[in-house]
Amino acid sequence: MTILYGIHNCDTVKKAKTWLEKAEISYQFHDLRKDGLESQLLNDFANKANWADLINKRSSTYRGLSDDVKTSLTTQLDIDVAISTVLAQPTLLKRPLLINNEQLHLGFKPNQYQQIFNHE
């Protein structure tokens, strides 16, 4: 099963959804704001990717964090701070997050999705 995680109004998520639909790939969409983000799912993401890679450092949410929290999320990881901060503000996650064949893929680039789904 393919699951796309993101925020409904995110432009990059929209591009990923459009690509999947044009390629006729069945997927489930999970809106991190509407459907929520639970600690078990966040831990699953963290087990499949580096914490620093999961964080969207370009987001306005990230830019609004204190320097101490930014450091706890990226360079000197404090797992408790990271989990509580991301659970409270799921827009800190890089989007979209794609789970396909139990593998996590971050972001969207057409060439990346072509390789994931072996499409020409």
3-state secondary structure of 42: helix
Give the E-state strand segments of the chain in sequence order: 3-6, 28-31, 97-100, 103-106
Residues in the chain: 120
Dihedral Cα 23, 27, 31, 37, nearest 10 deg: -140
Task: Report d(CA 82, CA 55) in Å as an integer.
Answer: 10
Q: What angle do CA 32, 98, 114 make, to 5 degrees?
A: 145
5 is a catalytic site residue = no
From the candidates 5, 6, 7, 10, give the one annotated as an active-site residue.
10
Catalytic residue numbers read 10
